Amino acid sequence: MFCNQCEQTARSLACTSTGTCGKPAQVSALHDLLTYVLKGLALVVKKADSVAGQSGRSLVPSDTHPFLAKTLFATLTNVNFDPQAIAAWIHEAVERRDCLKTELSALAPEIEFSEAPLTFSPAHDLGTLTLQARAHTLKKEASPDEDIRSLQHTVLYGLRGLAAYAFHAAELGYRDPEIDDYLVETLCDLAHYERGDLGVWVGKALRLGEMNYKTMELLDRAHRDTFGSPRPTEVPLGVKPGKCILVTGHDLLALHRLLEQTEGKGITVYTHGEMLPAHAYPRLKAYSHLYGNYGSAWQEQKREFERFPGAILVTTNCLQEPRDSYLGNIFTTAAVGWPGVTHLADHDFTAVIERALALPGFSEEVPGKTVTVGFMHETVLSQADRIIDLVKQGRIRHFLLVGGCDGAKPGRDYYTRLVEQSPADTVILTLACGKYRFFDRDLGSIDGIPRLLDVGQCNDAYSAVRIALALADAFQVGVNDLPLHLVLSWYEQKAVAILLTLLYLGVKNIRLGPTLPAFLTPAVAQYLVDNYALRPISTPEEDLAAILA
Ligand code: SF4
Ligand code: SF3
């Protein structure tokens, strides 16, 4: 086993026996094999596209790209641990590949299918399939040059993150042919890992950042068109008596379908983790049984799920191994899976609802604080004139974007301390699950503008970028000349995609923690330091002093 794609990789090098995330070696091997056969599917899609270009008829079924997106998403950290589910996708990818090969051969017999991922034949039993997988690990299917391999893995991990956004957008009916083509193109590039020098792969990493920006923009549009533009909304953190369902993850459509199916059933729906910003969307908050937020970030789930007296629906990352105490209460959907946990397809949530009705629910009201969510780009930019005036008057001196993933490492309290120590003339924009470290702090406001603005999920990083670019425009300066500093925390591969987007946009001086990615070799990391002044976090005191200087 070799996996180094996330921040909690063993010894900050790689997980080589079992994942710190709980991913067994077999599942890791199957993730790698799935990636390999997806490259094979992409290679034949590319050939089919070139023939279609000549004949004017597309041979590629329209659900191919969403399939690529969903299955790449399944290999992201803490998404799918179910060997049977992954094996089924490996077989489906090969079936799709072979159907397309047959059609293509009939139309253009001169086309050759000699590249290795185009001829690979998967075994039907799981044991042999796992043995086959060992020949196609991510390390073997990449350049022998460690710096080029580092960039190829950066592109692959970024692609997994981008695929998550593309999957959510496609579910809502939003596709962009450029993004679909990009998924195929990049998988083909990764299949031809022997091609291209260091400079070429740096270019591909930045191209990923560009396409991730477009994908996040598409998802932002899909969310706003489908659920309405987010508005500041107060969310209770307490609970009320009654039957209940907890929904975690990022998938707003799954939440919407659950709200439709639970309407009038006497069940209260709570959000957890990255689902918190859902409360800001008018067409979601219109459901009166969507009540509040329970718990915090993903790494606290075992304790929080154990105490929750209802059913739990996991719509995306980050899933941890369920404890026996709530194994019967938890359900997965879409790309998520855990062996032994009931998986619900096609947004049919009957089983979750039945389980919620069978469980006791909360017996009494527990009052709690409230937090305000919904400061996505439209809301913040509707206040742009006031914000600009406050900056000109010197009442807002700094903007800090303190956002990104949460995780289990003790060093992550850096972010809490940074926020707590930031001066009163600082506005803090935050997003993603890392905000749970400080999301309920009362930081006050500056002339009615709250000092802590929740921009949403990691999926809403587009909003933060839009806000930064609009402020730069208003002050007629470059984004690096704004009194804005980015202090980011990363854990999984959506954060990798977002980081590449920021680099593509030319954003410099980003502080990244708790550690730099293990998949960056010293030479690649140095390239980022030299060209983007990317640096690891140090201490809140030191970093704040440097930022505010
Ligand atoms: Fe290790 Fe992270 Fe890979 Fe899990 S996803 S096996 S923790 S590197
Ligand atoms: Fe969090 Fe898993 Fe990344 Fe969406 S839920 S930010 S870590």
Distance 397 CA to ligand 2 centre (A): 30
- Report the pLDDT value the prediction gives residue 54, as an integer from 0 to 100: 65
Indicate whether 255 pLDDT > 90: yes
pLDDT in tens, 134-193: 999 999 999 999 999 999 999 999 999 999 999 999 999 999 999 999 999 999 999 999
- pLDDT band at residue 371 using 50, 70 and 90 as cut-offs: very high
CB 111 within 8 A of CB 54: no
Q: What value does the mean pLDDT take over residues 198-215?
A: 98
Which residue has 């980022």 as its token pair? Answer: 528
Which residue has 């990818």 as its token pair? Answer: 93
Could you tell me if the CB of 317 is within 6 A of ligand 2? yes
CB 318 within 8 A of CB 73: no
Radius of gyration of the chain (CA): 23
Name the amino acid, one letter, at 127.
Answer: G
Could you tell me if the CB of 32 is within 6 A of ligand 2? no
- pLDDT band at residue 55 using 50, 70 and 90 as cut-offs: low
Distance 388 CA to ligand 2 centre (A): 31
Cα separation of 353 and 245, whole Å? 8
- Taking alpha carbons only, the member of 163, 192, 158, 157 closest to residue 180 is 163
Q: How many CB atoms lie within 10 A of CB 215?
A: 30
Distance 532 CA to ligand 1 centre (A): 27
Indicate whether 208 pLDDT > 90: yes
Name the amino acid, one letter, at 99.
Answer: C
Indicate whether 222 pLDDT > 90: yes
Q: Percent of the chain, pLDDT > 70?
A: 99
pLDDT in tens, 65-116: 999 999 999 999 999 999 999 999 999 999 999 999 999 999 999 999 999 9
Distance 162 CA to ligand 1 centre (A): 18
Mutate to test the pocket of ligand 1, among 2, 27, 28, 490 (most ligand atoms within 8 A of CB): 28
- SS3 call for 246: strand
DSSP H helical segments within 308-383, as ranges? Answer: 350-358, 377-382
Cα separation of 439 and 213, whole Å? 26
- SS3 call for 337: strand
Residue 191 to residues 64, 186, 196, 229, 416, Cα–Cα distance (Å)? 18, 9, 12, 40, 42
Name the amino acid, one letter, at 243.
Answer: K
- pLDDT band at residue 409 using 50, 70 and 90 as cut-offs: confident
Could you tell me if the CB of 143 is within 6 A of ligand 1? no
Could you tell me if the CB of 77 is within 6 A of ligand 1? yes
Q: What residues contact residue 70 under an 8 Å CB cut-off, 6+ apart? A: 163, 167, 334, 335
Q: How many CB atoms lie within 10 A of CB 329?
A: 24
- SS3 call for 3: strand
With left for phi above 0 and alpha for psi between -120 and 50, is residue 533 left, alpha or beta? Answer: left
- Taking alpha carbons only, the member of 217, 210, 219 closest to residue 73 is 219
- Report the pLDDT value the prediction gives residue 53, as an integer from 0 to 100: 64
- Report the pLDDT value the prediction gives residue 546, as an integer from 0 to 100: 96
**What long-range pairs does 278-281 form, CB within 8 A, spacing at least 24?**
278/252, 279/233, 279/235, 279/373, 279/374, 280/230, 280/231, 280/232, 280/233, 280/373, 280/374, 280/376, 280/456, 281/223, 281/227, 281/228, 281/230, 281/252
pLDDT in tens, 477-487: 999 999 999 99
Q: Percent of the chain, pLDDT > 90?
A: 97
* Residue 180 CA to its chain's centroid (Å): 18
Structure tokens at 121: 């034949």
Q: What residues contact residue 367 under an 8 Å CB cut-off, 6+ apart? A: 238
- Report the pLDDT value the prediction gives residue 305, as an integer from 0 to 100: 98
| Mean pLDDT, the chain, integer | 97
Could you tell me if the CB of 75 is within 6 A of ligand 1? no
Distance 308 CA to ligand 1 centre (A): 27
DSSP H helical segments within 75-171, as ranges? Answer: 83-107, 116-119, 126-133, 146-171
- Report the pLDDT value the prediction gives residue 356, as an integer from 0 to 100: 98
Cα separation of 481 and 373, whole Å? 28
Average the pLDDT over each of 50-64, 164-178, 317-331, 438-452 and give the range with the smallest value: 50-64
State which H helix or E strand residue 453 sits in.
Answer: strand 452-456
